[in-house]
A and B are shown apart, each in its own frame.
Chain A
Amino acid sequence: MIEINSLSKKFNKNVVLFDLDLLIEKAGIFAILGPNGSGKTTLIKAILGMVIPDDGEIMVANINIRKSSNYRYNLDYLPQIANFPHNLKVRELIAMIKDLRGETDEEENLIDRFNLYPFLDKKLGNLSGGTKQKVNILLTFMYDSPILILDEPTTGLDPIALIQLKKLILEKKEAGKTILITSHIMSFVEEMTDEIVFLLEGKIHFKGLIQKLKQDTQQKDLEHAIAVLLEKSHV
């Protein structure tokens, strides 16, 4: 599904990713974790083609991403900050994405689940942060792409929407999708994900099941296990 070979990227002289290899073949939910500045966002953006690598190769669904932008039909991305053109209505934004990507019939279902009907004819500039995030989620989940990339998906959501989001993610997993998530909320990660990819200083320090990480570090919960990983790396 996603294959990354010796990926390197630096911004000016700051090396963010160095000689990174990652292979994600099967379906499931993967969390990309790491302290601030460890290169999570850069890794995600490299897969999306937003950051252009200095070196290395990225294959998504067996297509080298440098070749063409069409590989993104296999990807759905939920960005961290939702900010849309202020003067467009929600309905028009949905129409625009459909115009760019093609038809879908999932949208009605999602509008219903997140109670977005009252907002369809409102301008995006007048929506609250949480509602914008719901629209953002709607745009990401209305397609049936094999890979989903979610960057801090829980930001600004109320508990009801959060429950809906978790359900949605699990449904996508059942449907055999590959889902990459970054999050700082460890309870969310522990509840939702199967495997974690732990990044530190531009390298992958750990990749595997949460269970295995807990055993390796002899900790009971994920938060402490991660802390142990971090401490070890500083010795």
Chain B
Amino acid sequence: MFKILKYSFYDLARSRWSYIYFLFYFILALVLLFLNHDLSKAVITLMNVIIILVPLIGTIFGVMYYYNSREFTELLLAQPIKRKSIFLGQYLGIAISLSLSLLLGIGIPFVIYGLFNSAAIWDFSLLLLTGVFLTFIFVALAFNISIDNENKIKGFGYAVLLWLFMAVIYDGLFLMSLVMFEDYPLDKFSLIGSMLNPIDLSRTLILLKLDISVLMGYTGAVFKQYFGTNVGLFTSLGVLFIWIIVPVRRIVIRAKRKDF
């Protein structure tokens, strides 16, 4: 697995897109920090960007890489390597190189700004951590979609739909249902609702940590009340972790039975 990982990482580390992705975050963070001079505001703005953009790029990159490397995957399949190693290696290759673009792109400006002397380092680390989690989750979901769909166009379509659903539609439905059933106790419902979507969960997690959960109204209050900060943090991270493990398991199982 690590051999495949090494080479797909080499390949991606030289891809133009990795640099464009890196530069985007680099410039964004630089501008936010040095024009704004408010670390906590910068973290919130970055959060809003990361939470939408990371899943989008993760899904698109994942699907694109899978379809582009089809013939190469076939060449690898004819080598004495287990299927599991091939697919896990490629998956980790993309997830790690995207995560690095994110970590370096945002990390470097913050270090230049003097992050290590500031109290915001924990909020900032959490932001990066959820960004990495979201990358791993959405690349895994993208791999699942592309393994199931031979047809590129269909695969791309489903991937974009998945992102749209998680990033936009889910929130809408969630809000609508909260409004419709406002006469009923909704604590558990809203809690489970935000756990089921990794994007919502990441947002909740960061906002809770920033201690501005009041802004989030109901969900924030419920989260505060039920988990307190630390238990809530670990539960949420645990759920994010499950969001990685389950799709990755499925990649392995599907890859074992697939015809190429």
For residue A77, CB closer than 8 A to chain B, the reply is yes
Contact, CB under 8 Å: B10 / A11: no
Return the contact of B75 from the options A79, A86, A92, A99 (Cβ within 8 A). Answer: A79
Contact, CB under 8 Å: B3 / A100: yes
CB neighbours of B260 from chain A (8 A): 45, 50-51
Interface flags, B6-17, vs A, CB<8A=1, else 0: 011011101100
Contact, CB under 8 Å: B12 / A11: no
Given A85-B11, A87-B14, answer yes or no on A101-B259 (Cβ-Cβ < 8 Å). Answer: no
CB neighbours of A87 from chain B (8 A): 10-12, 14-15
CB neighbours of A209 from chain B (8 A): none
For residue B149, CB closer than 8 A to chain A, the reply is no
Return the contact of B79 from the options A51, A83, A100 (Cβ within 8 A). Answer: A100
For residue A119, CB closer than 8 A to chain B, the reply is no
Task: Name which of A65-73, A152-160, A222-230 contacts chain B.
Answer: A65-73
Q: How far is the CB of A201 from chain B (nearest CB, A)?
A: 19
For residue A82, CB closer than 8 A to chain B, the reply is yes
Contact, CB under 8 Å: A48 / B77: yes
Query: Which residues in window 55-82 of B have CB below 8 A to A?
Result: 68-72, 74-82
Most buried by B among A48, A69, A71, A139: A69
CB neighbours of B68 from chain A (8 A): 86
Most buried by B among A75, A96, A101: A96
Contact, CB under 8 Å: A83 / B7: no
For residue A129, CB closer than 8 A to chain B, the reply is no
How far is B69's CA from A83's CA once the two chains are assembled, in angstroms? Answer: 8
- Chain A, interface size category, equals 20 to 34
CB neighbours of A51 from chain B (8 A): 259-260
Query: Which residues in window 94-122 of B have CB below 8 A to A?
Result: none
Interface flags, A49-60, vs B, CB<8A=1, else 0: 111100000000
How far is B72's CA from A81's CA once the two chains are assembled, in angstroms? Answer: 9
CB neighbours of A97 from chain B (8 A): 79
Given A50-B260, A81-B71, answer yes or no on A101-B80 (Cβ-Cβ < 8 Å). Answer: yes
* CB closest residue in chain A, given B93: A85
Contact, CB under 8 Å: A101 / B11: no
Contact, CB under 8 Å: B82 / A85: no
CB neighbours of A88 from chain B (8 A): 7, 10-11
Which chain B residues have a beta carbon within 8 Å of chain A's beta carbons? 3, 7-8, 10-12, 14-15, 68-72, 74-83, 257-260
20 contacts between A and B (CB under 8 A): A11-B259, A51-B259, A69-B82, A72-B78, A79-B74, A79-B78, A82-B71, A83-B72, A84-B72, A85-B8, A85-B11, A85-B72, A86-B15, A86-B68, A87-B10, A87-B14, A88-B7, A96-B3, A96-B7, A100-B79
- Interchain residue pairs A-B with the least CB separation, the first 9: A83-B71, A77-B78, A85-B11, A87-B14, A72-B80, A50-B260, A51-B259, A87-B11, A96-B7
